[in-house]
Amino acid sequence: MPFRIVQSKQNSRLKELRGALAHPGQGARGLAGRDSRSLAGIEGPNLLEEALRAGLRIGCVFVAQGAEHLLEGLHLPAETEVLLVPRELLESALATETPQPVAALVEPPRWDWADVLGEQTKGSPLIVVLAGLQDPGNLGTILRSAEAFGAQAVVSLPGTVSAWNPKAVRASAGSVFRLPLLSVSAEDCFARLREAGVKIWTTAVHGAEPANRIDLAGPVALVIGNEGNGVPEELAAQADGAVTIPCPGPVESLNAAVAVSVLLYEASRQRAESLTSPPSRKDKDAVRMGRTDSLTGSAR
């Protein structure tokens, strides 16, 4: 693949990369001169490969001199600009303590409510709502767990750290490229969920129902709050109930990402169980009385 050699710290593309990493989602000039408010910087060949697999548009790739082999087999689009940069120059633009020799500017996917509550959710969406989460590592881990356990989307409310923060992107291990993610107001979020018949559960340490005793197999949204202060009272008041994770050990609460992962696992377990559980007494009676669909066999 052709490389363009860059030697100046003032190169416009390097400035774009530096800005995208330092101020996620606020870009400088856009890809090919377009608006780049959604422009994101990513670091490392593994994340670049995940972005390509997810079908993201790759505007520019940066590779340190001597590390060109890391791009072999990535199948970059012909129109993608590839810059060959002295290692120390590239490292000066990156945000990590131990920078990797590959970085890229990518255009994040654009999601809307149809991706969250559309027909593909099959009537029982599982959604995570982040209300003021501040640690990017926690956010990235939550995205990864949400995708792993079959959640339809993550909704980010004002005050939550950007999912395109470099630490969040790394912790997500590529899930940020694939899992629908919306940034909306609390009013819009709760109105949409209620309109779709989604039951809203806030998380709490005290005065809440144990996760294994509530129905997480139906349409559910789990509201996760700030690591230190939890879910704001005004949002918790709008929930249908509160859920907690019983901890037999001498620990009052769990890390936010761990707590969400446990709840998502429990929701996934209940959903899998509901698919394999024997038919209810009502369904058996319907079949015995011959009230079944001749084609599908479903009771009616």
CA distance 216 to 126: 8
Per-residue model confidence (pLDDT) at position 279? 55
User: What pTM, to 2 d.p., does this model score?
Assistant: 0.86
Per-residue model confidence (pLDDT) at position 26? 63
Encode the chain in three state secondary structure: CCCEECCCCCCHHHHHHHHHHHCCCCCCCCHHHCCCCCCEEEECHHHHHHHHHCCCEEEEEEEECCCHHHHCCCCCCCCCEEEEECHHHHHHHCCCCCCCCEEEEEECCCCCHHHHHCHHHCCCCEEEEEECCCCHHHHHHHHHHHHHCCCCEEEECCCCCCCCCHHHHHHHCCHHHHCCEEECCHHHHHHHHHHCCCEEEEECCCCCEEHHHCCCCCCEEEEEEECCCECCHHHHCCCCEEEECCCCCCCCCCCHHHHHHHHHHHHHHHHHHHHHCCCCHHHHHHHHCCCECCCCCCEC
Structural domains in the chain? 4-107 (3.30.1330.30), 113-276 (3.40.1280.10)
Per-residue model confidence (pLDDT) at position 142? 98
Per-residue model confidence (pLDDT) at position 122? 63
At 223, list the tokens.
């509201």
Per-residue model confidence (pLDDT) at position 98? 87
Contacts with 95 (C-beta within 8 Å, 6 or more apart), sequence order: 21, 22, 43, 166
Per-residue model confidence (pLDDT) at position 157? 97
Per-residue model confidence (pLDDT) at position 38? 64
Q: Kindly give the confidence (pLDDT) of every residue in the chain, 300 residues in length, as a single tens digit, with 9 standing for 90 and above.
A: 688 999 998 999 999 999 999 988 665 444 444 444 467 999 999 999 999 999 999 999 999 999 999 999 898 998 999 999 999 999 999 978 889 999 999 999 999 999 999 866 566 999 999 999 999 999 999 999 999 999 999 999 999 999 999 999 999 999 999 999 999 999 999 999 999 999 999 998 888 999 999 999 999 999 999 988 899 999 999 999 999 998 888 887 889 999 999 999 999 999 999 887 665 554 444 434 444 333 333 333
